[in-house]
Structure 1
């Protein structure tokens, strides 16, 4: 079970690295962990408005329009490709 947790954490940490900026990746990780814009803003020391701007940019880059689509994309990417090392599963998923 611990191995699975470590693997999922690695995938989460690298998710979107081929497409998103570092700050956008931080926002995505927070969103995937269930945090609101307000709690994400508090943790990152930015305004909730700034989080929402990043969220809009993320949605545009990933061609999605909601948190539920982000979760679905994450799960699809994680379960559809071979995972090895610290790679971005999204990059592999989008190339298929």
Structure 2
């Protein structure tokens, strides 16, 4: 419990931090690291990308636009982004 006086007045505020933020609520589950594209595509069908990424293609192929944007998952799986375009395991 903490008691705080506001602007030198007699008004006091009592705050219990345990009531405001439950223990462990701030911790987010860590992003999964996948061994290969088959495993990643099992959860993210058309691949996963960092924000702002665009699929780079060669020839007549059309770029993939249906990938999932998730910075944390992409950062854990950059080893699966072989062409380094910001999209890991893009699948048409």
> Structure 1 length as normaliser, TM-score?
0.20
Q: Which has the higher helix share?
A: 1
Structure with more relative contact order (C-alpha pairs < 8 Å, separation 6 or more): 1
Bigger CA radius of gyration: 2
